Chain A
Amino acid sequence: MGNTVVMTLLAAALAVGLAPLLLLLVQPWPGGRWALQALWALGRLWPPPLIALLLLFLLQPGIITGALALGLHNLGVLGRLLLETSEHVGDGAEQALLGAGSGPRLALLYGRFSGLARPYLAYGAYRADVILRESVVVGLVGATGLGSQLLEALSAFAFDELLALLLAYALLTLVGEDLSDRLRRRLLAGAPRPGSPGVGTPDRG
């Protein structure tokens, strides 16, 4: 169970952090954004277990391989969302920064991403919840975590063990969901005061 949690956090940090970082890196080149979009489309397309199988060509099975597979898949989802939303924001601030002589990367970071940071990170918290559920999927392929134990119980027809594992898994995801909801509300609620009532939009999409 500890493995599952570590894998989830690692994958979520990878997916949430890499999307803006890669966008910033390719910002000066006109074709870079297209290349990224293609890469992310492939990441969304491949189910995590397939990515894990591909990674197994190069890496040993384990938590990190599973986390990489989950992270790359969710990077595709998050990256597309970030790109779509940053296009909706409007480029007034970015153009102003560019006109004032700042570089393209800084202009993107301060002009667009600063207004997006809270909703984006809040969505990232929701995504972490999704990843926690999905972590069972790469576990089934032979990486570690709750998933491989579940598959073993399932294929051994050990139904009492299976029931215990399922309950543990359900409990874990419900706790994770609650934590991610709290984090999301706090991020959306504005100033991070402890105990402030959550007023975040309930749109979990």
Chain B
Amino acid sequence: MSPAQAAAANGPQVAAPLWVLLPALVLLPLLLVLPGISHGGGWELVGQFASAALQPSLDPLVLRSVLSGLGVTMGIALLGWAGSVVLGVVLGVASSRVVWQTVTGSTALAGWIRRLLALPRSIHELLWGLLLLQLVGLQPAVAVVAIILPFGALVARVISDLLDALPTRSLEALRCAGAPAGPALLTALGPPLLPQLISYSGYRLECALRSATLLGVFGLGGLGTELKLTLQSLAFRELWTGLWALLITMLLLEMLLGRLRQRWAMPGRLALGQTRVGGSGRELLWAGAALLPLLGAVAWASGWIRPACCAGSPCRRCQRPTGGRWRPCPGERSWATRW
């Protein structure tokens, strides 16, 4: 350890390489404990699960149900993400010390807003979802709001931290030259904030997709519900249909976001590269303009297409009971199967 400490004392960039591996030491006690808690009854099941990966079910009924579930999950993720970013930017600016200092001269209110935001942030989106479920019942908006609340507070915290960490020299120069508070803030802090904001919100979209899947596992709609039901009924081939579809979606999304991040000279998430203000404002505007109708369409689809089959009641078209089944009623065109 002594060379490590010497290296650490010399400069912030040098760290002992072995530090990275230290947390892996937890494997040793874990490997000792694992045989004790394994019951070894399910190896055939795991084998079936693994072999089903290569032969997912291609039944059109399953495919249609998976696709509609995927649509719901992506819709929830997209709407929740957009809402949380908008809410987060507004609240983040409202809880930034620099902003309050510039506008009113005191930072007391910023601290209070920050403390208020700690509560929605501290509760996981799943708990929000289950609580809202108790309060308002199963509605399309529940999952979206459940994502917006904690994510919005989290984004707000990150934005206000980023804002407060920006160098204020240009802001002070503008203020001393007599610029009013609003335009001075926007001019001095907007451009350096933008690349970090976009990089972070891209990351939040990945998180939103994961969260939407998770909410589905607990019955709030979308592909997650089907994943859980197929796993519980050991229908592994149908399970893998959903898993492959979700995997392709996730990888495509990550690739797209990575491309965009690089294209607009975004800093990486560990912020090792230098940050540079990209000169691609027009592209950004176009992307934003394309995003708005997409969001509108998703919201419209979730609100306008009413559920054709409600769980527990017979389908209106074919009069077959639908409660508890993981397959959608044939012939239904709603993308919100269980709503």
Q: Which residue of B lies closest to A118 (CB)?
A: B15
Q: Which residue of B lies closest to A60 (CB)?
A: B37
Interface residues of B in 297-328 (CB under 8 A from A): none
- How many interface contacts (CB-CB < 8 Å) are there between A and B? 203
Asked if B196 and A203 sit within 8 Å, CB to CB, the answer is yes
Choice from B16, B34, B246, B269 contacting A203 with Cβ under 8 Å: B269
Give the Cβ gap from A168 to chain B, nearest Cβ, in Å: 11
**Given the complex, which residues of A lie within 8 Å of B162, measured CB to CB?**
202-203
Total number of A residues with any Cβ neighbor in B under 8 Å = 74
Q: Is B104 an interface residue (CB 8 A)?
A: no
Choice from B158, B165, B243 contacting A45 with Cβ under 8 Å: B243
Interface residues of A in 130-149 (CB under 8 A from B): 133-134, 136-137, 140
Asked if A166 and B34 sit within 8 Å, CB to CB, the answer is no
Q: Is A16 an interface residue (CB 8 A)?
A: yes
**Given the complex, which residues of B lie within 8 Å of A113, measured CB to CB?**
17, 20
**Given the complex, which residues of B lie within 8 Å of A116, measured CB to CB?**
20, 270, 272
The docked-state distance in angstroms from the alpha carbon of A69 to that of B201 is 26
Choice from A57, A120, A137 contacting B42 with Cβ under 8 Å: A57
Contact with B along A171-203 (1 / 0, CB 8 A): 101100100000000001111100000000111
Interface residues of B in 184-211 (CB under 8 A from A): 196, 199-200, 203-204, 210
Asked if A45 and B246 sit within 8 Å, CB to CB, the answer is yes
The docked-state distance in angstroms from the alpha carbon of A35 to that of B134 is 43
Interface residues of B in 214-246 (CB under 8 A from A): 214, 217-218, 224, 227-228, 231-232, 243, 246
**Given the complex, which residues of B lie within 8 Å of A53, measured CB to CB?**
228, 231-232
The docked-state distance in angstroms from the alpha carbon of A16 to that of B24 is 7
**Given the complex, which residues of B lie within 8 Å of A45, measured CB to CB?**
213, 243, 246-247, 250
Asked if A49 and B17 sit within 8 Å, CB to CB, the answer is no
**Given the complex, which residues of A lie within 8 Å of B22, measured CB to CB?**
17
Asked if A174 meets B122 with Cβ closer than 8 Å, knowing A59-B38, A60-B39, the reply is yes
Q: Which residue of A lies closest to B254 (CB)?
A: A80
Q: Is B293 an interface residue (CB 8 A)?
A: no
The stretch of B5-13, B54-62, B276-284 that contacts the partner chain: B5-13
Q: Which residue of A lies closest to B123 (CB)?
A: A170
Q: Which residue of A lies closest to B212 (CB)?
A: A47
Asked if A17 and B17 sit within 8 Å, CB to CB, the answer is no
Chain B interface, >50% SS class? helix
The stretch of B43-51, B167-175, B329-337 that contacts the partner chain: B43-51
Asked if B25 and A85 sit within 8 Å, CB to CB, the answer is no
The docked-state distance in angstroms from the alpha carbon of A81 to that of B127 is 27
**Given the complex, which residues of B lie within 8 Å of A10, measured CB to CB?**
26, 30
Total number of B residues with any Cβ neighbor in A under 8 Å = 78
Asked if B40 and A205 sit within 8 Å, CB to CB, the answer is no
Q: Is B119 an interface residue (CB 8 A)?
A: yes
Interface residues of B in 36-82 (CB under 8 A from A): 37-43, 45-46, 49
Give the Cβ gap from B89 to chain A, nearest Cβ, in Å: 15
Give the Cβ gap from B151 to chain A, nearest Cβ, in Å: 12
Q: Is A64 an interface residue (CB 8 A)?
A: yes
With most chain B CB atoms within 10 A of its CB, the pick from A62, A88, A133 is A133
Asked if B250 and A121 sit within 8 Å, CB to CB, the answer is no
The docked-state distance in angstroms from the alpha carbon of A157 to that of B119 is 22
Asked if A13 and B26 sit within 8 Å, CB to CB, the answer is yes
Q: Which residue of A lies closest to B164 (CB)?
A: A202
With most chain A CB atoms within 10 A of its CB, the pick from B12, B40, B119, B158 is B12
Interface residues of B in 256-276 (CB under 8 A from A): 258, 267-273
Q: Which residue of A lies closest to B201 (CB)?
A: A205
Q: Is B87 an interface residue (CB 8 A)?
A: no
Asked if A137 meets B124 with Cβ closer than 8 Å, knowing A49-B217, A154-B134, A203-B267, the reply is yes
* 22 pairs of residues in contact across A and B, judged by CB atoms under 8 Å: A14-B27, A20-B24, A21-B24, A24-B21, A45-B213, A46-B243, A47-B217, A49-B218, A53-B232, A57-B49, A58-B41, A62-B37, A64-B30, A64-B37, A110-B17, A117-B15, A117-B16, A123-B270, A136-B126, A137-B126, A174-B122, A203-B269
Which A residues form the contact surface with B (CB < 8 A)? 10, 12-14, 16-18, 20-21, 24, 41-42, 44-50, 53-54, 56-60, 62, 64-65, 80-81, 84-85, 88-89, 109-110, 113-121, 123-124, 133-134, 136-137, 140, 150-151, 154, 157, 166, 169-171, 173-174, 177, 188-192, 201-205
